[in-house]
Amino acid sequence: MSTRWYPIYQRGNPQLRVFLPNFWMKLVRPLPKQLPNTVSFQCSMEMTKYDIKNYLEKIYNVPVVDVRTKITMGKFRRDVGRGYVVKDDDVKYAHVVLPKGQTFEYPDLFEKSKDDDEENMKSLEEAKKSFKNYIDRNKDRQDVPSWFSI
């Protein structure tokens, strides 16, 4: 499937190489209001609707009823530092329709990190509190350095 050139072997190069296929699909967060039985993907430009259908059915055993593809224009942005307007690459989106009863929910990827966040926030709060205590305590002797205490 890969159309990449196999580079000429030079001494010292790895003997085994892994070639990724040209066809790839990336599951993306759906639009805010979308039917529950549709799934959105970004995919490589070369893939046709039939490719997408086969890809999902043959590799992942996902029942696919219908595929709608759309190529969206990449964003324009200012180049950092230089100030030119540059354009990002275009993206092909594939909206895949699943059979009627099935639903798809985009997974919450950062469930674990949420706990971490909470912990961080907790320690931050504590630090803030102790600092406030310290300020309160030394309210009356503002010009005294911190090491000068009992």
Positions touching another protein (CB under 8 A) are 31-35, 37-38, 53, 64-66, 68, 76, 78, 85, 97, 99-100
Question: Which is closer to another protein, CB of 26 or CB of 78?
Answer: 78
> Any alpha helices (H) in 38-86, and if so which ranges?
49-54, 60
104 burial (CB, 10 Å; 0-12 / 13-18 / 19+) is middle
- Shortest spacing between CB 97 and another protein, in angstroms: 6
Question: Residues 6 or more apart from 35 whose CB is under 8 A from it?
Answer: 97
Question: Which is closer to another protein, CB of 14 or CB of 81?
Answer: 81
- Shortest spacing between CB 84 and another protein, in angstroms: 10
Question: Which is closer to another protein, CB of 21 or CB of 99?
Answer: 99
With beta carbons less than 8 A apart as the criterion, state whether 67 and 48 touch. no
- Shortest spacing between CB 93 and another protein, in angstroms: 13
Question: Which is closer to another protein, CB of 21 or CB of 36?
Answer: 36
With beta carbons less than 8 A apart as the criterion, state whether 41 and 23 touch. no
- Shortest spacing between CB 95 and another protein, in angstroms: 8
The span from the CA of 136 to the CA of 15, in Å, is 68
